[in-house]
Amino acid sequence: MENQNKATIILDIDGEKKEYTYDILKGTKGPDVVDIRSFYKDTGLFTYDVGLTSTASCTSSITFIDGEKGELSYQGIDIETLATKHSYLETCFLLLHGSLPTEDELIDFDLELRHRSFLNDGLTNLFKAFPDGAHPMSSLSSAVTALASFHFEHLDLNHQEDYDEMAYRILGKIPTIAAMSYRHYIGYPSVQPDVNLSFTENFLFMMRAYPHQRMKMTKEGPALIKEVEVRALDSIFTLHADHEQNASTTVVRGVASTGAHPYVAISSGINALWGRAHGGANESVIAQLEMIGSVDNVDEYIAKAKDPNDSFKLMGFGHRVYKNFDPRARVLKGLQDELKVELKLDSHLMEIASKIEEIALSDEYFVKRNLYPNIDFYSGVILTALKIPKEMFTAIFVIGRTIGWISQWIESIEDKQSKIVRPRQLYKGM
C-alpha cells in the first residue's frame, strides 16, 4: 500500500473544533482507505461501524469484488473464466500459490489430495459418538476441530512446505469428512475414498456408493455419476472458493489472530457459515420454494414480498455487497440451463424458481431495488437437481470455501502488521 493523500477530519466537541490528519492508503483496485489506527489515541474517541460495512480490517491480495459493477476475481482472474474454463483444483492452486498450475503441477497437486483424502481410524470412529440423524454440519464442524488433535504438530508453521502440507491435508480430507457426516445423518455405512477418482468425482462417489461398490462414469446410459454432474458441482465449488472478507472468513482471520491451530480456525469458519444469513441461505431458498408449493402460488408470494406491512422476504434475491447482478449467479444460471437439457430436468421446484426469476427480473419493484437473483437462489435449485438433499447444501459450500479460508489464514499469519482482533463498543449500561 502507498500513501496517496491525506484526510483531514474536523471534530466539534463541546464547541471546540480540532483537526486531525490521517493517511489515505491506496490499493490497486477498489476504494482507498483512511488509516485511522491512531484515531483513539489522537482523539479519545472510537468509530462506530455496526457490521463493519465501512471498515477495512486487513490487507489482502487474494480476492477482489466490485459490488457496483458485479465483478469478482481471484488473484486477478475473473470468476466466469475460472468456473467455466478451469477446474476447482486449478482454482485451489491459484488461491494458494498466486498463479494457475502448469500441467505437471496440477497432476502432482491432484495426486497429493487424492492420497490425503483418507481419515485416521480414530477420527472415523468419532462419528459413532454422534446421535443418529445428527445434522451433517454439526458433525462436519466437530470432525474438523478433531483434526487438530490428530495433527497438532502444525500449530507452528515456519516454511512454505509447512503451509502446503497443512493446506493439502485439510483440502484432501474435507470432502471425506463431509460425505461421512452425510452418511451418518441418513444411517448408511461410510464409504472410503477411491484414489482412482478425481476430487469432485470422489465426493459424489462417497455420497452415493455402497461399500466396495465401483463406479464407471459414462456420457450415456445408466451410471452412478454423470459427467455433467461432476462439471456442475466442480463449478459450484469454484464459485464458492472465496469471497473476500465475508462473515465466516472474518471469523477465520479473527481466530487466526489469537494464534489458535489452523484447523480450529477453519472449524470456526464452518460454524459461522452455517447461519441462514450466510452459507445456510441456499437451504432456506429450497425450503421456501417447497413452502410456495406451486407455480400457481407465485404471484401471491411476490405480492407478499412487495407488501411493506408483510414480514415475508423472498429468499435468494439481493446481496449485501453486489448492487448489480451477482457474477456467480450468472454462471449458475448457465449451469442450470445445461442441467435442464443434459439431465432432462423439469422438476417441480425448478418450475417455481423459474417463474419467480421471470417476474423478479422484469418487475420494477425488484429492479429498482437491485434485488437480482443471487448465488443462493440458483445453487439450491442446481444441488436439488443433482439429488443432493438440502441438509448437505451448506456442507457443499464448506468444501468449496475451505481453500479460501486456508489462503486467508496463511495471508493473515504472514502479515507482519496483523494484531489480535479486539473491537471496541459503545457502552449503554449502568
Query: Which set of grid coordinates corresponds to residue 427?
Result: 457502552
Residue 321 pLDDT level (bands cut at 50, 70, 90): confident
Does 366 fall in a domain? no
Task: Examine the residue annotation and report whether 243 is marked as an active-site residue of this protein.
Answer: no
Q: CA distances (Å), 157 to each of 86, 148, 154, 162, 333, in order?
A: 30, 14, 6, 6, 41
Give me the domain span that covers residue 52. 2-66
Q: How far is CA 213 from the centre of its chain?
A: 31
Sign of CA dihedral 25, 250, 407, 281: negative
pLDDT at residue 61 tops 90: yes
**How many domains are there within the chain?**
1
pLDDT at residue 87 tops 90: yes
CB 20 within 8 A of CB 11: yes
Does 44 fall in a domain? yes
| For residues 87-113, average pLDDT | 97
3 beta partners: 25
CATH number at residue 11: 2.20.28.60
Does 10 fall in a domain? yes
Does 416 fall in a domain? no
Query: Which set of grid coordinates corresponds to residue 415?
Result: 502479515
Residue 268 amino acid letter = S
In which region does residue 130 sit, left (phi positive, over 0), alpha (psi from -120 to 50) or beta (all else)?
Answer: beta
Does 339 fall in a domain? no
Of 234, 242, 326, 376, the catalytic one is 376
Of 319, 348, 363, 415, the catalytic one is 319
| For residues 161-176, average pLDDT | 93
Q: How many CB atoms lie within 10 A of CB 307?
A: 10
Strands 71-74, 2-13: pairing is unpaired
Instruction: Kindly state the DSSP code that residue 202 receives in the 8-state scheme.
Output: H
Instruction: Collect contacts of 335-344 with beta carbons under 8 A, ≥24 apart.
Output: 335/232, 335/235, 335/236, 335/378, 335/382, 336/378, 336/381, 336/382, 336/385, 338/228, 338/232, 339/228, 339/232, 339/382, 339/385, 339/386, 340/385, 342/226, 342/228, 343/226, 343/228, 343/229, 343/385
Count of helices and strands (H, E) across the chain: 18, 6
Does 86 fall in a domain? no
Question: For 139-143, 237-241, 363-367, which range has the lowest pLDDT when averaged over its residues?
Answer: 363-367
pLDDT at residue 217 tops 60: no
Supply the pLDDT for residue 161.
Answer: 84
Residue 196 pLDDT level (bands cut at 50, 70, 90): very high
d(CA 128, CA 162): 32
Does 261 fall in a domain? no
Containing H/E element for 139?
A: helix 136-150
Task: Examine the residue annotation and report whether 376 is marked as an active-site residue of this protein.
Answer: yes
Question: For 114-128, 242-256, 305-319, which range has the lowest pLDDT when averaged over its residues?
Answer: 305-319
**What does pTM read for this prediction?**
0.90
Q: 125 in helix, strand or coil?
A: helix
| For residues 6-13, average pLDDT | 91
Does 327 fall in a domain? no
| For residues 252-272, average pLDDT | 95
Residues in Cβ contact with 129 at an 8 Å cutoff, skipping those fewer than 6 apart: none
Residues in the chain, total: 430
Exposure of 392 in the CB half-sphere (CA atoms within 13 A): 25
Give the rounded percent of residues in the chain with a pLDDT score beyond 70: 94
Supply the pLDDT for residue 297.
Answer: 93
